[in-house]
Amino acid sequence: MKVIRDPIHGYIELDALTMALIDSSPMQRLRRISQLGLSNLVYPGANHTRFEHSLGVMHLAGMLTSRIDTVTREEKEELRVAALLHDLGHGPFSHVTEGLVKHYTRQGHEDIRDILKKGEIAEILGEHGINPVKVERHIQGQTDFGKILNSEIDVDKMDYLVRDSHYTGVAFGLVDHARLINEMQFYENKLVVAAGGVKAAESLLVSRFLMHPSVYYHHVSRIAETMFVRAVEDLIQQEMLDPFELRRMDDARIFETMRNNSGYAGELAARLDDRKLYKRALYVGFEDVGEGVLKQRKNVRRIEAEIADIVGIDSKEVLIDIPRDPEIVEMKALVKMNGRMLRLDEASHVVATLEQAHRDNWKMGVYTTQENREAVGKAARDFFDIKRETRQFRLTDLEV
């Protein structure tokens, strides 16, 4: 048995199996995959990786399963392995490239059967008698005990909220995960939170709500990530990058591929390198554009072309970012109170009020170069039929 020191959880124990997995190439690649994408352009300390997050999730999974008598020794080992390996399918910069990878390969970051069933990982699992199919099912939350890793409230969320808060320096990710784990149990084959854990569950949801606009959807991060995705997509469309190869790359390798391009991707890479990002020409919420704008997510390129045509610039100089419909899945977590099963938003008035507040955080962005900002902003407001200057953003606002 060996131990390593983690800044979040203290000492984490590793046995022969987990040590062997950690030393494999697929796990070592996670040292080169940033946890928060391009958020270090906003928070300079946000350079932590999927590697240490995976160790943290494994540690919390072990804490939780040690409290559950119905989990067999074999299942505990499978769940620790699944927790350690759960992010192997992430491409460069984690969630930044996930949409592209899924679009072109039809594989999400949880679809890792090919990694588990051949190569180094498969050999290690085979040597220790671990079934790779069961591991993948745990990762995808398809088993009862897999809910520990993948459900409304799970150890994955517990780790990343605390870890992201620590490395960004944003003091919102305060989650009493020890209390929450102590109050979680299986009831009728469902992972539930006991009544004594409701306040800890509330803290998780409040933390996620506060971290959303401050970190995960900070406008600078959204601009940088939109630019990055367009650069990678351009390489794919120019047949200079194989999407299946993209999934196996790390951050440095994809960035170097972008830098070596003499076209649009290279231009965006240079801007990202020097932090000469596009600016917000329009930045509005549902109160200005209505929720019907979500239907336009599939028409983004056409809208960019129309706005660019109005202004008289290349369509590549207009980027539109329409985030998906905001949702707080944790609200559906089950709470056991007085022998009854309730949804968390039914058991907590605090949680019930967060849904609308979370929707208020949603923002659509139209981004362009500094010199075209005013003209693109006017054209975008006309296109989306926004008749007034919004309270959320004015061209005179200061930006980081």
How confident is the model at residue 91, as a pLDDT?
97
Tens-binned pLDDT, residue by residue, of the chain (400 aa): 899 999 999 999 999 999 999 999 999 999 999 999 999 999 999 999 999 999 999 999 999 999 888 889 999 999 999 999 999 999 999 999 999 999 999 999 999 999 999 999 999 999 999 999 999 999 999 999 999 999 999 999 999 999 999 999 998 877 889 999 999 999 888 899 999 999 999 999 889 889 999 999 999 999 999 999 999 999 999 999 999 999 999 999 999 999 999 999 999 999 999 999 999 999 999 999 999 999 999 999 999 999 999 999 999 999 999 999 988 888 889 999 888 899 998 998 888 888 788 888 999 999 999 999 999 999 999 999 987 554 444 444 445 5
Q: What are phi and psi of 6, to 5 degrees?
A: -110, 135
How confident is the model at residue 400, as a pLDDT?
53
Spatial CB neighbours of 12, under 8 Å, sequence gap ≥ 6: 3, 4, 5, 6, 55, 56, 58, 59
Closest CA to 105 of 244, 278, 309: 244
CA separation for the pair 183, 196 (Å, rounded): 6
Full-model pTM? 0.92
